[in-house]
């Protein structure tokens, strides 16, 4: 087992939020500073930070900074609404964003009504969300690692490590935990176009951890499973609804189809804060065509190419073997198991 090197991408200190700029990793390690909701929204929109749990923690701190600014200017909690609305519009698919913002807002409003400091209440709630996120990652890691055997080759898409969560990770957190338990595993990482989170970020975390890996192009998943003895697939989630339908990075649905064809387990790993009970549909974000026609500003297609760039797809529940959460493993039918875990 290699030397452990935990990545910490989100630091809140002295009323200032520092984010490790994931757009330039692994070639540079630079930090972006945020001081209010609008700056935080810009960082989320620009992909300085990404991954649903990490977006949630970042949004929680963005909300508390905006409330602190508004209260300090004598405008109260409601004076923060305009900035927080900008924050809420930054990434529509990531449910953790809405969950975290609403928790911080509710805590600050309750404090104001009770005659307590709403800014302090907002900050404490944001820190609580951050700590819960960390503990959830540790728990998911332990639960999910039980599904990985010594000697397994496992496959993953996008980046679901500490960079996507704030600590350890979801799907990659399970893989890291299995490695730390002494299991000799090998990871196959999909490059994950168009932002290349797999080749840039997952490889970055695997190298820091010392875990053996193979990087492949997205279209090579089937032949790799067929020829390299992949035993299971672990993916993250940006939003999960009642029936277990899971929004995750584009290409996840395709990977689930390939996994089902070869009869290998396809596991989703996500905290319960990603599960939106009562929802049936998932809005899928589309981003700029430039993300497909260029790589780091270098054109790779002809000018004026017609582009469809959804950044998420939705994996149907029948393709998902199980959903690993911090409170246990949900299995079909997900309408029952997810509801039970949320209530636990």
Helix (H), strand (E) at residue 256: helix 252-262
Strands 153-156 and 186-190: parallel
Spatial CA neighbour of 280 closest among 314, 254, 319 = 314
Q: Which residues contact 195 (CB under 8 A, 6 or more apart)?
A: 47, 50, 291
Interior/surface letters 49-58, b for 16+ CB within 10 angstroms, e for the rest: bbbbbbbbbb
Collapse the DSSP code of 144 into the 3-class scheme (helix H, G, I; strand E, B; otherwise coil) and give the result.
helix
Identify whether the C-beta of residue 89 lies closer than 8 Å to the C-beta of residue 30: no
Sign of torsion, CA 107 109 115 120? positive
Range 178-182 contact pairs with CB under 8 angstroms and sequence separation of 24 or more: 178/144, 178/145, 178/148, 178/152, 179/1, 179/209, 179/210, 179/211, 180/1, 180/4, 181/145, 182/1, 182/150
Q: Which residues contact 306 (CB under 8 A, 6 or more apart)?
A: none
Helix (H), strand (E) at residue 44: helix 37-45
Which of 238, 242, 243, 313 is flagged as catalytic? 238
* Active-site residue, 238 included: yes
Give me the active site residues, please.
238
């Amino acid at each position: 087992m290699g030397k452990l090197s935990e990545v910490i991408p989100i630091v809140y200190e002295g009323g200032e939020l520092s984010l490790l700029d994931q757009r330039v990793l692994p070639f540079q390690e630079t930090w972006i500073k945020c001081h209010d909701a609008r700056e935080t929204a810009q960082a989320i929109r620009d992909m300085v930070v990404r991954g649903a749990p990490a977006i949630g923690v970042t949004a929680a701190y963005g909300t508390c900074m905006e409330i602190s600014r508004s209260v300090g200017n004598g405008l109260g909690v409601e004076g923060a609404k305009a900035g927080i609305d900008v924050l809420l519009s930054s990434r529509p698919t990531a449910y953790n964003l809405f969950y975290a913002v609403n928790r911080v807002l509710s805590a600050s409003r309750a404090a104001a009504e009770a005659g307590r400091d709403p800014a302090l209440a907002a900050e404490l709630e944001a820190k609580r969300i951050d700590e819960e996120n960390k503990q959830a990652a540790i728990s998911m890691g332990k639960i999910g690692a039980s599904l990985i055997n010594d000697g397994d080759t496992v496959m993953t898409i996008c980046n679901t490590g500490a960079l996507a969560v704030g600590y350890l990770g979801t799907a990659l957190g399970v893989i890291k935990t299995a490695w730390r338990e002494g299991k000799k595993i090998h990871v196959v990482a999909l490059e994950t176009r168009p932002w290349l989170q797999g080749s840039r970020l997952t490889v970055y975390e695997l190298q820091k951890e010392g875990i053996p890996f193979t990087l492949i192009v997205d279209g090579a998943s089937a032949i790799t499973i067929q020829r390299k003895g992949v035993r299971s697939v672990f993916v993250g989630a940006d939003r999960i609804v009642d029936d277990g339908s899971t929004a995750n990075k584009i290409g996840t649905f395709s990977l689930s189809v390939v996994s089902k064809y070869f009869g290998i387990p396809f596991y989703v790993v996500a905290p319960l804060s990603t599960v939106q009970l009562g929802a049936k549909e998932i809005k899928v974000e589309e981003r700029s065509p430039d993300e497909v026609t260029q790589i780091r500003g270098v054109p790779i297609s002809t000018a004026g190419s017609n582009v469809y760039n959804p950044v998420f797809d939705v994996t149907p529940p029948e393709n998902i073997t199980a959903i690993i959460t911090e409170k246990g493993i949900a299995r079909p039918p997900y309408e029952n198991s997810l509801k039970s875990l949320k209530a636990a």
